[in-house]
A and B are shown apart, each in its own frame.
Chain A
């Protein structure tokens, strides 16, 4: 059994003797050439992308702060006037009664 096993292993290990090389597909060069002549997609460097995202995030945040601040000031403006009994700045233009 041992000898037969070793014999079989030898047979497998030597099975590539006399092997010929395979031929590559006939149309392979054409496919390579097509791939090479295709315009390369623009690659944005990762660093540049990160900076762009960071700047966009900062601008967005600033805009949000500005809008919130405007909205809060607008409400406070009307409320404070009324609180102090102030009248609207413009009524019927009758300044003197």
Chain B
């Protein structure tokens, strides 16, 4: 019997023990995906909170033909992208220069010898278009198989490959232009 489905069914009836069990299964995945989008632990925390609140409240809307992980990933991506849009809108209207001064993101899991380069990469990922960003994060940061990425994004495998190709090309072009200003 599929454990996540059983848990989700129980959560739809308000079972909070089942909710805790589902949280234990998926919280790391949700938090890390959120972290890749938001690039700030406090923002990733807020996104994760929103995701699981939605999971609890909308458990009864889950379509049983889909995978639970796919469903949760979709909620995570939509919540993350909406969070970023709200944040960017707010910073547009605010008088402060805060949005320009956001420090580079230091992912806690990156190997020590790669920290500097990873900071540069995350900063550059931030500038990708939403679809390319999503495809890149799911494939290269979350390390998901391509087919799973396609299922989550609701596109074909070919579309994912195309998005990844464009994402990598754009990243390389941007990085190449930054080369003279890199920290040595």
Contact = CB atoms under 8 A, between A and B. Distances in A.
Interface residues of B, number: 39
Contacts of A9: 172, 175-176, 179
Contacts of B49: 28, 31-32, 35
Contacts of A19: 107, 109-111, 114, 118, 141
Contacts of B110: 15-16, 19
Interface in A59-73: none
Contacts of A15: 110, 114, 117-118, 120-121
B5 interface: no
Nearest to B34: A24
B48 A28 contact: yes
A22 B140 contact: no
Q: Which of A14, A24, A33, A36 has the most CB of B within 10 A?
A: A24
Contacts of B114: 15-19
Given A13-B171, A15-B114, A32-B23, A21 B28 contact: yes
B133 to A, nearest CB: 14
